[in-house]
Amino acid sequence: MRAREIMTTPTFALTPSATLEEAARTMTAHGFTTMPVVDADGRLLGLLSEEDILRTPAPPGDPDTGVMLDGAPRTAGSAMRTTGLAVPAGTEVAELARRMTDAGVRSAPVVEGGHVVGMITFHDVLRAVAGRP
C-alpha cells in the first residue's frame, strides 16, 4: 500500500500571506496539527504547525486582525518551517512509518511533481498497518 492510497484528501493548505490567526482557525476547524504552505500553483513552500504558531510571539497590535503596530501581519510565510518531511505519493507504508518516526513528525504532506496532493498522518499509517479502511 502506498501513500496515495491512504492519504487524506482534499488537502487544505495555507498561502504564505495567510495570517496566523486564519491558520489557527483553519487548523482547529478541521482538526489539523500541521498544514502545508503552498504557492499559487500548489507547490510546497513549507509547513506550519500548531507549535510554530504558538512559538511566534504576538506583537502589540490588533488581536482581531493579527496586524502589528507597524502594519505587518503575522503570517504563515513568516512562521513556517522550510525544512521538514514531505513524502512522494508512491511511498510504501513501511517506508512512511520509518520516515515519519525518524523525522519525529505525526503528519506530512504528500507530493507529486512538487505539488501537494494530500496529507498523511500516523493515524492513516496505523489504519493501513491494521488492514482497516
Rounded to an integer, the average pLDDT of 77-104 is: 90
Task: Give dist(CA 13, CA 48) in Å, integer.
Answer: 10
Q: What is the 3-state secondary structure (H, E, C) of the chain?
A: CEHHHHCECCCCCECCCCEHHHHHHHHHHHCCCEEEEECCCCEEEEEEEHHHHHHCCCCCEECCCCEECCCCECEHHHHCECCCCCEECCCEHHHHHHHHHHHCCCEEEEEECCEEEEEEEHHHHHHHHCCCC
**Residues 18-73: pLDDT tens digits?**
999 899 999 999 888 889 999 999 899 999 999 888 887 665 555 555 544 445 56
For residue 77, the one-letter residue type is G
pLDDT at 69: 46
This prediction has a pTM of 0.79
Q: Please give the CATH topology (third level) of the domain spanning 3-129.
A: CBS-domain (3.10.580)
pLDDT at 32: 84
